[in-house]
Amino acid sequence: DQQVKQNSPSLSVQEGRISILNCDYTNSMFDYFLWYKKYPAEGPTFLISISSIKDKNEDGRFTVFLNKSAKHLSLHIVPSQPGDSAVYFCAPQWGGGNKLTFGTGTQLKVEL
Amino acid sequence: GAVVSQHPSRVICKSGTSVKIECRSLDFQATTMFWYRQFPKQSLMLMATSNEGSKATYEQGVEKDKFLINHASLTLSTLTVTSAHPEDSSFYICSAPEEGRNQPQHFGDGTRLSIL
């Protein structure tokens, strides 16, 4: 039972344009949502997060939007850069316990 | 920033061998660490929660006698894959959150385990 789904396994975007990565979840207990970026043969690195009491959080080129009623969140990267090419995972948690449930991941490729 | 070190990065060994993987938090203390497994082109699946000074908590379907976890200090957790077989070949990753509610987790760089 996959509680967290990222329906686009891959996404290709031109440099300078916006990248939009989507994530859907089923568990209404999730109250904190994190995005991680992962390069091959490395561990994930934290990117940005959002609490369930907010609907938007922005950090530089990265913005995360949360639609609780739709159980949907998205990560916007603008402008996209070649160094952003990686696999992106959304990873919600609940209860403050730091136990993450990883989504299926989206491979982002930013082309020159 | 906070760093988690995982060692070794790669192991190749014969079937039946037991393999130990170490996960260290280098500049912070971690009462809890997490162990994940990732198959090719799939997501990270949580295997177990390592608790300092007490028994690990395993996720459903994970054999605790197969994957032994020890968290003997506030900076070190170890995962031992006992009597490893080819189906145990995978990418194993550990993580540790800093103390506090909703703290981002810091991940090690993973261990690629290949059982021949």
* Tens of pLDDT, residues A1-27: 689 999 999 999 999 999 999 999 999
Which region among A71-75, A76-80, B70-74, B83-87 has the lowest average model confidence (pLDDT)? B70-74
pLDDT at B40: 81
Does residue B40 contact residue B61 with C-beta atoms inside 8 Å?
A: no
What's the whole-number mean pLDDT along residues A77-87?
97
**Between chains, do A100 and B49 touch, taking CB under 8 Å as contact?**
no
pLDDT band (50, 70, 90) for residue B1: low
Q: Give the separation between CA A42 and CA B104, rounded to whole angstroms.
A: 17
From the list B105, B108, B109, the residue facing A98 with the nearest CB is: B105
Q: Give the separation between CA B16 and CA B65, rounded to whole angstroms.
A: 14
Containing B45, the helix (H) or strand (E) segment is strand B44-51
pLDDT band (50, 70, 90) for residue B99: confident
**Between chains, do A100 and B34 touch, taking CB under 8 Å as contact?**
yes
pLDDT at residue A97 tops 80? no
**Between chains, do A101 and B46 touch, taking CB under 8 Å as contact?**
yes
User: CA of A15, closest CA in chain B: separation in Å?
Assistant: 24
**Between chains, do A98 and B110 touch, taking CB under 8 Å as contact?**
no
Does residue A14 contact residue A98 with C-beta atoms inside 8 Å?
A: no
Q: Which residues of A touch B (CB under 8 A)?
A: 32, 34, 36, 41-46, 49, 51, 89, 93, 96, 98-105
The 3-class secondary structure across chain A, one letter per residue, is CCCEECCCCEEEEECCCCEEEEEEECCCCCCEEEEEEECCCCCCEEEEEEECCCCEEEECCEEEEEECCCCEEEEEECCCCHHHCEEEEEEEECCCCCCCCCCCCEEEEEEC
pLDDT at residue B59 tops 90? yes
